[in-house]
Structures are given as C-alpha cells and as structure tokens.
Amino acid sequence: MERTLNQKLLAEFVGTFTLIFVGAGAIIQTGGNDLVAIAFAHGLAIAVMVSSVGHVSGGHFNPAVTIGAWVTQKIDSSDAIAYLAAQLAGAAAAAGLLRAAIPAVGWKAVDLGVPSVLKGISTGDFAEALAAILGEKASGLSATNIVRLKAGWEADYKAWSQRDLSQKRYV
C-alpha cells in the first residue's frame, strides 16, 4: 500500500524526534561519559523506529540518509526537501523538549549532546581549536597570524607554479 506524503513526513518527524530525544537524552543523562550507554540508546531508538514506522517512509530519520537516497535517485527532489524539513522539525522539537524538561545545569554541561571536538571554532575561541588540532605548540598562533601565513604561502605557491621550466631537461 502506497502511503501519502503526509504519512511519510509524520513518520520521519516521529522517527527523528525519537532518535534525538533518546540519543541526546542519553548523553545528558550520562554526562557524555558512558559511550556504551549512549550508543545503545541511539541504536535502540533507531531499531524501534525502523521496525515501527520504517515501512511508512523508508526509515531515513537522518538528513544524511535522505540526501544519499536523493543523490542515488531513490526519492525525487520534492520528497527529499519535504523529508529534510520533517527531520529538522523533529530534531528541533526533541531538542526543545529536552531543554524544557531538563534543568539547564543538566544539558548545558554537555551542550545538549552536540559534539564539541573543535568547540573553539563555534565559540570564537580559535586558539582553543588550534591547540586541539595542532597541539600545545600552537598556542602562539592566532587567526590573524594564520591569515598572514596563508597569504604568504599563496604568494610562494603562485611564484612556484609560474616558474619557467622550458629550459629544463628531465629525461
């Protein structure tokens, strides 16, 4: 039986909502310190949602999966856009409910479950991000220094790539 687009979008909304609510809730509950529990919560949420509503929409529940299905032409462009909107709405609703239901002390400690590998880039503390990427020896680098170095490297590369090799014999 072919489902209507509204039924598919509702299934994507509910599935994505569940994934984010359970997954981010597990991160908040464990303080981000129990990766097995966090992985189990995500896996359980996906398993339950795929088995319960996956037959309605295909069980994407993740914009990356939807984009992959669109690129491989498993769904058309208009359905892909609608799926993405439903997934983003479901994720936002889940995050909003977590913020409303859990005291700020609980969810702020783990940034509501958002990965923070390079936290400095999003918070504006570029030195912290550079230290995470390059190590402690990068402490003297700043965004200004990197821009200046990059301009110098680009000039060096341009000069190198435009050198005359017509008089060179390589063979």
What are the boundaries of each domain within the chain? 5-115, 116-164
Measuring CA to CA, which residue among 47, 67, 46, 50 is closest to residue 58?
50
What is the spatial distance between Cα 65 and Cα 141, in angstroms, rounded to a whole number?
Answer: 38
Task: Give average pLDDT by consecutive 10-residue segment, the chain, 171 residues.
Answer: 91 95 91 88 95 92 93 93 94 92 82 62 59 67 72 86 82 71
pTM: 0.66
Contact between 107 and 97 under an 8 Å Cβ cutoff? The reply is no
CATH numeric code, 5-115: 1.20.1080.10
